């Protein structure tokens, strides 16, 4: 047998695209289609991201007691996260542990871009703590809070061409709270935005694999999440519950 890395990477994308397409065809209810698509993206990240990361559907909470909206895909730190809540089948993750958040849809369009931006902003606006880090020789300064990656994951595009000016216009933003940094339209390509604007579109042959690699590269650049102030959350233990 002759091994080929090109074949391996190509098969990874083809598998994701095929599974997204099957979910789109097999389920009639929009909510069921959405859940199936979400599961495909979550399984991709859970399988191929390094073990220090985990991906799940969840709400995000901060030490002020504020919650994000429900997020389809939360990429968070599992190695240093001191607690992840599981309540009535729902996961709740502390804001300090989050690296990235993504909305998963069947198709990309202006409505879904706006919806994803709203979801991403609900996480970025949460308060995050960061403590100095003790070590054998003393203490490192508290790590500056890093930008949380936000994005949108779909199979198809409602625009023609799939990655063109309508998408660029929908992605354009004046602030950073609701910016979509990275996304994948599995049938067409990936897109990315930075501080200079949202005009970078990358039509390529195997978008799902390219998205995975680009996400891993961005996570590597961020290194480790800040050291969470657990006592800031513990103070809620002294607050009376509503009757």
pLDDT of 241 reads 55
- State what percent of residues in the chain have pLDDT above 90: 56
Residue 221 is among the residues annotated as catalytic for this protein? no
In terms of average pLDDT, the best of 125-129, 140-144, 232-236 is 125-129
| pTM for this model (two decimals) | 0.89
pLDDT at residue 96 greater than cutoff 50: yes
**Which one of 62, 77, 103, 181 is the catalytic residue?**
103
Residue 91 is among the residues annotated as catalytic for this protein? no
Closest to 157 in 3D by CA, of 125, 201, 187, 118: 187
Specify the higher pLDDT residue, 4 or 34: 4
Given pLDDT bands bounded at 50, 70 and 90, which one contains residue 24? low
**Which one of 33, 38, 62, 72 is the catalytic residue?**
72
What distance in Å separates the CA atoms of residue 105 and residue 93, rounded to the nearest whole number?
22
pLDDT of 140 reads 87
Residue 200, H or E segment: strand 197-203
pLDDT in tens, 184-226: 999 999 999 888 777 666 767 789 999 999 999 999 999 889 9
Q: Which of 16-20, 86-90, 120-124, 161-165 has the lowest mean pLDDT?
A: 16-20
Residue 96 is among the residues annotated as catalytic for this protein? no
Query: In this structure, are residues 138 and 205 in contact, taking their beta carbons and an 8 Å threshold?
Result: no
Distances (CA, A) of 143 to 1, 77, 178, 226, 231: 49, 15, 23, 5, 18
What distance in Å separates the CA atoms of residue 110 and residue 89, rounded to the nearest whole number?
31
Closest to 98 in 3D by CA, of 153, 151, 146: 146
**Which one of 33, 62, 105, 119 is the catalytic residue?**
105
pLDDT in tens, 46-67: 999 999 999 999 999 999 999 9
pLDDT in tens, 150-161: 999 999 999 998
């Amino acid at each position: 047998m002759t091994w080929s890395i090109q074949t391996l990477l190509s098969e990874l994308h083809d598998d994701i695209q095929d599974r997204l397409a099957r979910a789109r065809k097999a389920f009639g209810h929009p909510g069921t289609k959405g859940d199936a698509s979400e599961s495909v993206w979550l399984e991709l990240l859970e399988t191929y991201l390094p073990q220090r990361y985990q991906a799940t559907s969840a709400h995000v909470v901060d030490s002020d007691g504020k919650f994000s909206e429900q997020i389809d895909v939360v990429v968070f730190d599992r190695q240093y996260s001191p607690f992840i809540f599981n309540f009535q089948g729902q996961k709740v993750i502390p804001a300090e542990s989050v690296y990235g958040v993504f909305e998963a849809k069947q198709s990309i369009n202006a409505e879904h871009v706006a919806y994803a931006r709203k979801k991403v902003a609900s996480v970025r606006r949460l308060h995050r703590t960061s403590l100095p880090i003790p070590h054998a020789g003393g203490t490192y300064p508290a790590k500056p809070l890093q930008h949380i990656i936000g994005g949108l994951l779909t199979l198809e595009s409602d625009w023609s061409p799939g990655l063109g000016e309508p998408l660029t216009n929908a992605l354009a933003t004046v602030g950073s709270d609701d910016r979509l940094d990275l996304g994948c339209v599995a049938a067409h390509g990936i897109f990315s935005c930075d501080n200079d604007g949202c005009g970078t579109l990358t039509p390529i042959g195997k978008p799902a694999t390219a998205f995975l690699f680009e996400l891993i590269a961005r996570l590597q650049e961020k290194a480790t999440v800040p050291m969470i102030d657990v006592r800031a959350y513990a103070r809620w233990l002294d607050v009376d519950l509503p009757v």
